[in-house]
Amino acid sequence: MKYLLVAGARPNFMKIAPIHKAFSSRRNGHSTADLLLVHTGQHYSRNMSDTFFRDLGIPESDINLEVGSGSHAEQTARIMMAFEPACLEHRPDWVIVVGDVNSTVACALTAKKLGIRVAHVEAGLRSRDMSMPEEINRLCTDAISDLLFTTDTLAVENLRNEGIAGEKIHFVGNTMIDTLRQQISRAGQLPLPDALVPGQYAVLTLHRLANVDSPECLALIMGAINAIADRIPVVFPVHPRTVSRLEGVELHPGIRTVEPMSYLPFLGLVARSRMVLTDSGGIQEETTVLGVPCLTMRPNTERPITCEIGTNVLVGTDPHRILHEANSILDGNTRAGTIPDKWDGHAAERIVEVLLNQPVQAPFLVSR
């Protein structure tokens, strides 16, 4: 059988790396699976894409759609228009998509409309916030997927409550955590920037549309971060979306802004930090596994398990709340947390096992 494995944006790369690896090791064991890697080009800058391929040992993509940036409609449409001929040319049995970015929904929809089966890795996460583009992407992708691989049991419940048939759903664990477990010892040996001392700095990431595209919201958040920087240095790798939004915003000298970092140095930075302040999705999960306190500056999360049993606290964007929780951590009030079931480094192997056991069924390829 033939598979197209799709990645497009930074948070996808650590999710596909172990799947690619698990397929390759099965191939060495004489599986006839044929896997092609598709990069949509949603992220294209060196430090948003290439460095991740290098750090994670992902081979160069077989197909690059080179779509680049645009409005949501433009970007999604461009991916669909470029992916359709690739599907028609390569005639895959399965298209595998990961996460919740525009590339995920665009490729899932294109494949499904051609009659190609779709597998969604990281299915079932729900923030219940339809103002998030990612929530729309999650709902649409899950509604049309033939196989839904989940990271936790809450996601399974979400899918069952939406009427998705139980036989399509497989609770396999978290491929992003597979990557973390494979890379953590290398990452932890890299030198810290600026001679930072382990446990004596915080890490900040901020790129969510709702936070950075509203000047008022960004000013409130940065006000709280400035106050935190009075107590501890804050390393802030600035996402390209956030760079221009920060112009004119006053930053405390204790905040060290740096370019977006590649996977290994960033993992090493987070692993040795005192705490992380973020609006990312994946970092909530990584900090839970690393046992690092995480304050998530959003009103909701699609990853509630990290708050229920992990080290994550949802603090919203109220500067008083952010500062209060950060001070509490700096005063030593941290909780250990536990690691969710099956975040054990073997999720990708489980996924590949399920995929290889699916019945052969010729795609019906309807293009008009």
With CA atoms as reference, report the closest residue to 59 among 28, 88, 90, 36: 36
Asked if 11 interacts with ligand UD1 (CB under 6 A), we say yes
Residue 52: what residue type? F
Nearer to ligand UD1, 43 or 274 (CB): 43
Q: How far apart, in whole angstroms, are the C-alpha atoms of residue 251 and residue 246?
A: 9
Cα–Cα distance for residue pair 334/339, rounded to 1 Å? 16
Under rule CB under 6 A, residue 10 binds ligand UD1: yes
Binding of ligand UD1 by 296 (CB under 6 A): no
Q: Quote the least distance from Cβ 122 to ligand UD1, whole Å.
A: 12
Which of 69/214 has CB closer to ligand UD1?
Answer: 69
Among the residue ranges 237-245, 267-275, 301-309, 328-336, the one whose residues contact ligand UD1 (CB under 6 A): 237-245
Is 135 among the residues that bind ligand UD1 (CB under 6 A)? no
Applying CB under 6 A, which part among 40-48, 59-67, 123-131, 323-331 lies near ligand UD1? 40-48
In the complex, least distance from residue 43 CB atom to ligand UD1, rounded to whole angstroms: 4
Does position 223 bind ligand UD1 by CB under 6 A?
no
Q: Which is nearer to ligand UD1, 53 or 171 (CB)?
A: 53
Contact call for residue 312 and ligand UD1 (CB under 6 A): no
288 binds ligand UD1 (CB under 6 A): no
Among 133, 188, 193, 254, binds ligand UD1 (CB under 6 A): 133
Which of 241, 252, 256, 321 lies at the binding interface for ligand UD1 (CB under 6 A)?
241
Q: How far is the CB of 198 from ligand UD1 (least distance, A)?
A: 26
60 CB burial (10 A radius; 0-12, 13-18, 19+): exposed
| Binding of residue 188 to ligand UD1 (CB under 6 A) | no
Note whether 134 binds ligand UD1 by CB under 6 A: yes
Report in angstroms how near the CB of residue 268 gets to ligand UD1 at its nearest.
19
* 101 makes contact with ligand UD1 (CB under 6 A): yes
Active site residue 207: yes
Pick one of 1, 44, 252, 356: the residue that binds ligand UD1 (CB under 6 A).
44
Q: What angle is formed at CA 78 by the lines to CA 76 and CA 84, rounded to 5 degrees?
A: 100
Strand-pairing partners, residue 243, are none
Is residue 42 a contact residue for ligand UD1 (CB under 6 A)? yes
Q: Of 93 and 142, which CB lies nearer to ligand UD1 in the complex structure?
A: 142
Strands 275-278 and 294-296, how do they pair? parallel
Stretch that binds ligand UD1, among 155-163, 238-246, 310-318, 346-354 (CB under 6 A): 238-246
Question: Which of these is catalytic: 20, 120, 170, 207?
Answer: 207
Candidates 6, 9, 155, 187; binder of ligand UD1 (CB under 6 A) is: 9
Question: Is-contact 206 278, C-beta < 8 A?
Answer: yes
Q: Which of 48, 144, 192, 196 binds ligand UD1 (CB under 6 A)?
A: 48
Asked if 342 and 173 touch (Cβ cutoff 8 Å), the reply is yes
Applying CB under 6 A, the site for ligand UD1 has a residue count of 18
Q: Least CB distance from residue 133 to ligand UD1, whole Å?
A: 4
Where in the sequence numbering do the catalytic residues fall? Answer: 207
Write out the residues near ligand UD1 by the rule CB under 6 A.
9-11, 42-45, 48-49, 69, 101-102, 133-134, 207, 239-241
